[in-house]
A and B are shown apart, each in its own frame.
Chain A
Amino acid sequence: GQQLNQSPQSMFIQEGEDVSMNCTSSSIFNTWLWYKQEPGEGPVLLIALYKAGELTSNGRLTAQFGITRKDSFLNISASIPSDVGIYFCAGGDNNAGNMLTFGGGTRLMVKP
C-alpha cells in the first residue's frame, strides 16, 4: 500500500521560531491535508490542498502542495506555546476511493 514519510518525527523549538515539516511519497496524490492533534483530542483539520503547486495559508500556517504531487510542506511562523501538538499529513488519491493515507506525525514542542 501507499506510504507517507513525514519528517521530522519530533521538534523541540523556542517560542518565536519558525517551524517547517514535510511529507513525501513515492506515489501521486490528488489531495493533501494537514491536521493537528492536541493531547486527549481528535485531529483537527488545519489546511486542505487540492491542486499541484497550490500554496494556502491559515493564519500563521502555510502549506504547499508539491508540484510533483508527491510531497507537501507545512510551515508555522513565529511559534507560540499553543502550537504544541502532533501534526499529521494525509494524502488522498482516486485509486483509494475516499480513503486517506496518513503520515506518522510530527510532534512539536515549544519552549516558552
Chain B
Amino acid sequence: NAGVMQNPRHLVRRRGQEARLRCSPMKGHSHVYWYRQLPEEGLKFMVYLQKENIIDESGMPKERFSAEFPKEGPSILRIQQVVRGDSAAYFCASSPPGQYTQYFGPGTRLTVL
C-alpha cells in the first residue's frame, strides 16, 4: 500500500507566479489535510478536505490560497501570485473515514525567488 504521495518535492517560483502542489492520499483514505511548516517551526494547519468538500479552512490565508479535492484525482493546493513569505514546506496528510490517525507525505518545498 503506497503512502501519501506529494509532487513536486521541490518547487521554485518567481514572485507573482502561481504554485500548484499535488497530494495523492493513501488508498482508502478520503480525508486530506494540508499543513505549512516554516524552517525551525512546527506544523501549521491550513485546510481539511473530503472528496469534493472543504470541511475546515480556518488556517488558510483569505487571499491567494485555495484548495480542492475533486472526485477523481489528487488534492491540489494552489497559491496564486506567490510572494517570498510563501516559501515553506507544505505537507499533506490523509486519514481513513472516522479515524484521527493522519499519515503524512514527504512534503513539497516551495522557494519563491
Whether chains A and B associate is yes
A binding-site residues for B, Cβ under 8 Å? 30-31, 33, 35, 41-45, 48, 88, 90, 92, 97-100, 102-105
Shortest beta-carbon distance, B4 to chain A, in Å? 8
Given contact pairs A42-B91, A99-B56, A105 touches B104 in the complex (Cβ within 8 A): no
Closest B residue to A35 using CB positions: B104
Closest A residue to B9 using CB positions: A40
Total CB contacts across the A-B interface at under 8 A: 50
The CA of A9 and the CA of B106, in the complex, are separated in Å by 23
A100 touches B42 (CB 8 A): no
B69 an interface residue at 8 Å Cβ cutoff? no
B101 touches A33 (CB 8 A): yes
A42 touches B101 (CB 8 A): no
B104 touches A98 (CB 8 A): no
- Name the B residues within 8 Å of A48 (CB-CB): 101
A102 touches B43 (CB 8 A): yes
